[in-house]
């Protein structure tokens, strides 16, 4: 596994805080009822992250760990640019590819082929680069003739296969992964994990959110534990996993 160098960090999270609005209602019907009754739809804010700071060096593979609702996925989305911090700043250096949500960025009415070109362009690849790597992308995804079907007919597993395949065929500097490898059959997950190790060996910086202890132990040398929106540990992966078990 490639270790961090003296180069500037690939990821900097600097005193970041993030809030979300709480809501009483979840449907338009409920919202209208509350409006008619002149009851509030919102009930304050929930702080998802509280003054979070860390940096990830070039070539590091770091796991962000925490129980459900701890703020780890919010952190990953802030680094990817999907969300913006309310306080503090997030900086990245180089080309970043994020596997944040299965099928995110896919247009349901476009075919798999069309979505490959669309997603590759979003990730910064030229049309020429995408054409050169298209056959490899499809071969890795193992979706075969479905490549010319509209993706609204894809299963979640097919979404994941194609999204992962596009991301790993980009010339990237930073890869963000959020639990997407929990989708799909065991042989394909094994192939994805092997590819992640290959990218790590090549010096790609990785930030991984996963509940799989086995995956993070083999892929990551460092773990950041977030509890109720606060970083409570940042250090060796085995110590991070031990911290995660504490009540």
For residue 21, name the pLDDT band (cuts at 50, 70, 90). Answer: confident
Bridge-based pairing state of the strands 61-65 and 222-227: parallel
CB 65, CB 225: distance < 8 Å: yes
Q: What are the C-alpha distances in Å from 232 to residues 37, 52, 228?
A: 43, 10, 9
- The more confident residue out of 1 and 18 is 18
For residue 158, name the pLDDT band (cuts at 50, 70, 90). Answer: confident
Compute the CA torsion angle 163, 164, 168, 170 (nearest 10 deg): 10
Instruction: Give Dmax over CA atoms of the chain in angstroms.
Output: 61
pLDDT on residue 231: 97
What gap in Å lies between CA 234 and CA 55, rounded to an integer?
10
| Domains of the chain, CATH where assigned | 11-15+57-244 (3.40.50.300)
* Bridge partners of residue 64, in order along the sequence: 224
pTM exceeds 0.75, yes or no: yes
Residues 6+ apart with CB under 8 A from 62: 56, 206, 207, 208, 220, 221, 222, 223, 224
Query: Lowest-confidence range among 55-69, 77-91, 133-147, 200-214?
Result: 200-214
> Is the pLDDT confidence value at 184 over 70?
no
Main-chain phi, psi angles of 74, to 5 degrees: -60, -40
Relative orientation angle of helices 112-122 and 127-141, to the nearest 10 degrees? 130
Chain segment 204-226, per-residue pLDDT in tens: 999 999 888 888 998 999 999 99
Query: What is the average pLDDT score of the chain?
Result: 86
What DSSP letter does each residue of 158-207 carry, written as one string?
A: HHHHHHHHHHHTS--SEEEEESGGGSS-HHHHHHHHHHHHHHHHTT-EEE
Chain segment 126-152, per-residue pLDDT in tens: 999 999 999 999 999 999 999 999 999
pLDDT on residue 24: 53
CB 43, CB 22: distance < 8 Å: yes
pLDDT on residue 123: 82
- The more confident residue out of 111 and 177 is 111
């Amino acid at each position: 596994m490639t270790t961090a160098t003296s180069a500037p960090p690939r990821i900097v999270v600097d005193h970041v805080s993030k809030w979300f609005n709480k809501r009483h209602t979840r449907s338009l019907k409920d919202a209208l009822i509350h409006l008619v009754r002149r009851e509030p739809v919102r009930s304050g804010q929930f702080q998802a992250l509280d003054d979070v700071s860390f940096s990830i060096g070039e070539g590091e593979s770091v796991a962000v760990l925490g129980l459900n609702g701890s703020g780890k996925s919010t952190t990953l989305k802030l680094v990817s640019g999907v969300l913006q911090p309310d306080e503090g700043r997030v900086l990245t250096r180089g080309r970043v590819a994020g596997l944040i949500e299965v099928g995110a960025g896919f247009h349901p009415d476009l075919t798999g082929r069309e979505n490959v070109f669309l997603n590759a362009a979003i990730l910064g690849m030229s049309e020429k680069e995408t054409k050169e790597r298209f056959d490899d992308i499809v071969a890795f995804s193992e979706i075969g003739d479905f490549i010319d079907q509209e993706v609204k007919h894809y299963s979640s597993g097919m979404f994941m296969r194609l999204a992962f395949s596009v991301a790993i065929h980009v010339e990237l500097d930073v890869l963000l992964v959020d639990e997407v490898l929990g989708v799909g059959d065991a042989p394909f997950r094994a192939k994805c994990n092997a590819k992640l190790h290959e990218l790590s060996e090549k010096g790609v910086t990785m930030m991984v959110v996963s509940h799989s202890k086995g995956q993070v132990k083999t892929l990551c040398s460092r773990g950041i534990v977030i509890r109720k929106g606060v970083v409570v540990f940042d250090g060796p992966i085995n110590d991070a996993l031990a911290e995660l078990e504490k009540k």
